[in-house]
Amino acid sequence: MVPSLGEMGIELIRKPIIWRLFLAGLIAVGLLVGSHSVAARGKHGKITVKGALKTELNSLLKSTNNLHLACVSRNEKKVDENIRILLGAIKRANKKSSLAKDQRPHLVRMLDKARQHLELTLNRSGESRKESLKEAFINLVQIAKVYKLDSYQVYFCPSDKAVWLQKGWKPRNPIHPKKYGSCGKLVR
């Protein structure tokens, strides 16, 4: 009787030398694939961007900080206005995303997720609005953490699980400014 391919595969894996060679091959492939992304990273493990893309992403972070300030002031009209400005900044950054080369798919995904949550925020109210806004901030913070851009402090509030970026060293929670206004631990 001839053994099936599955049975032969199991027999090969049971042999220690075959197993070791298989693992070594897997590790080698992982190192080759992973080293390309790491090579694009600058100091502190962040990806360096230049020119028009860097300008647009810095503009995006500045708009994110302005949205943070509007949220803290609890002025819903200003919040909506800043969301629209931020949506414009996302659109401009998306147009320049081709300059990100290998990182383009990841950047576009972060920008699209932030855009989707900001659009939902405009159309919602109450807790649902706050949840959408919280998700948008999470995606916008990712951009600040991944790319080497202007410096902002990133905070996390364990009480409501909110993450945001801001200028200044005193945490000011944008999601629940009344309830958890000063809640926030510096994460970067």
Could you give the percent of the chain with pLDDT greater than 70? 77
| Identity at 22, one-letter amino acid code | F
Highest-scoring range by mean pLDDT, 5-9, 27-31, 88-92, 184-188: 88-92
Q: For the segment 83-132, what is each residue's pLDDT rounded down to a tens digit? A: 999 999 999 999 999 988 889 999 999 999 999 999 999 999 999 999 99
Alpha-carbon span 70 to 153, nearest angstrom: 17
41 DSSP 8-state letter = B
| Predicted model pTM | 0.75
**Token representation of residue 116:** 């989707």
Residue 179 sits at φ, ψ, to 5 deg, of -75, -45
Residue 38 scores a pLDDT above 70: no
Residue 41 scores a pLDDT above 50: no
Helix (H) or strand (E) holding 147: strand 147-148
Q: Residue 119 CB: number of other CB atoms within 10 A?
A: 14
Nearest to 146 by CA among 178, 103, 115, 181: 103
